[in-house]
Amino acid sequence: MGNRIGVLSRRRFLKTISATSAIAASGLSMYSTQAFAAAEFTLKFANNLPVTHPMNVRAKEMAAKIATESKGRVDMQVYPNSQLGTDTDMLSQIRAGAIDYFLLSPLILGTLVSDAQISGIGFAFKDYSQVWAAMDGELGAYVRKQISAKSTLFAFDKIWDNGYRQITNSTRPINKPEDLKGMKLRVPPSPLWTSMFRAFDAAPTSINFAEVYSALQTKIVEGQENPLAIISTAKLYEVQKYCSMTNHMWDGFWCLANKTSFEKLPKDLQDIVTRNINEAGLKQRVDTKALNDSLVAEMKTKGLQFNDTDNDAFRTKLRSAGFYEQWHKKFGAEAWAILEKYTGKLA
């Protein structure tokens, strides 16, 4: 799909589901490219999001372009919706070479490469102009260098977008930091997420994304936090009542590659794969922001109640709890200075 999601209706996303549901039911790759009998390289590209999310719409397009430009030499197979396991499972698989490419939040990647999660510091980026300046600039370059130096992986230049994260729950609106006190809140398996919500006196519980819906449905946790596009495409509004527009952190997806797998590709194929992954990431950024911006009205019709919050109150609470000071020490002076170059003074 070459058009932006803001122009396309969500009906066309639903067509994507119906066209691929039979393949999904079989457990095979949702988006394997055309059956090229002579493909020299069959590559697995995995992620945790539903097929209707802009990530997978663009991944399908990307895989088709790679097949065409490589004249069938590369068959990029996209496995969405945690088909190959939880985030933790897939991170282990890409490190071992069982998966070739994996889109993963910097904060979850932080369990392997601590510096990767610096872009997820709570209430740091005030808007997208700060986000892309940092992630396409010095901060993104710093993180990619750390990933390559400290793992068997590397990250492509253009980070994909997840969006600003909001809090949903089945108990009460979150208007001020005190409303989070004691709330059982699902967070991804990341020390930074856990640390931030403990600073708000909540009770964060680490659960992989594939298990979030059932955890909310069975009341193992009261709430969770995600960008609106994920709340919508994963239908979390079915098991939540309130959505508080906290914008508490920006989140993205580094497109990670297994170094050994990538280096097996001849240089011309490396160039084709790299260019198309980065181009898909840039298009997905536009799509995801447009979708996030459009979803409040739609999810209100599905029964989700929305409220706005005062970000300054939450930021003040993090300062008084020592959150920024704690993570400044953990990341070190160099990394923190690069972050504050784009966000302004945090601690």
Q: How far is CA 28 from CA 31, 51, 346, in A?
A: 9, 13, 46
Count of H-run helices and E-run strands, the chain: 14, 12
Give the three-class secondary structure for 11.
Answer: helix
Does residue 65 contact residue 104 with C-beta atoms inside 8 Å?
Answer: no
Instruction: Round to whole Å and give the CA distance between 331 and 343.
Output: 16
DSSP characters for 33-54? Answer: -S--TT-SEEEEEE-SS-TTSH
Output the pLDDT for position 38: 78
Q: Report the pLDDT value the prediction gives residue 3, as an integer from 0 to 100.
A: 40
CA distance 252 to 266: 29
Smallest Cα–Cα separation from 226: which of 249, 201, 208, 196? 249
**CB of 87 within 8 A of CB of 94?**
no
What is the distance between the alpha carbons of residues 334 and 318, in angstroms, rounded to a whole number?
A: 21
Nearest to 251 by CA among 133, 148, 164: 164
DSSP 3-state of 103:
strand
CA nearest neighbour of 45 among 208, 252, 276, 283: 276
Which pLDDT belongs to residue 190?
86
Q: Is 254 helix (H, G, I), strand (E, B) or coil?
A: strand
Q: What tens digit of pLDDT does each residue of 137-178 get? A: 999 999 999 999 999 999 999 999 999 999 999 999 999 999
* Tokens encoding 215: 């955890």
CA–CA separation, 11 and 296 (whole Å) = 17
Beta strands in the chain (DSSP E): 41-46, 74-79, 101-104, 153-155, 160-164, 166-169, 184-187, 203-206, 223-226, 242-245, 250-258, 305-308
Q: Are 108 and 190 in contact (CB under 8 A)?
A: yes
Token digits of residue 331:
């990341």
Residues 6+ apart with CB under 8 A from 159: 106, 135, 140, 252, 253, 254, 255, 281
This prediction's pTM? 0.86
Strands in 193-304 per DSSP E: 203-206, 223-226, 242-245, 250-258
pLDDT of amino acid 37 = 61
Q: What pLDDT, on a 0 to 100 scale, did the predictor assign at position 26? A: 38
Q: Tell me which amino acid residue 200 is.
A: F
**pLDDT value, residue 19:** 40
Rg (CA), the chain: 20
Is residue 345 classed exposed, middle or buried when 0-12, 13-18 and 19+ CB atoms within 10 A define those classes? exposed
DSSP class of 245: E
CA–CA gap between residue 233 and residue 257 (Å, rounded) = 26
* pLDDT for 347: 80
Q: What is the structure's pLDDT at 40?
A: 97
Q: Which residues of the chain carry a pLDDT beneath 50? A: 1-28, 30-31, 33
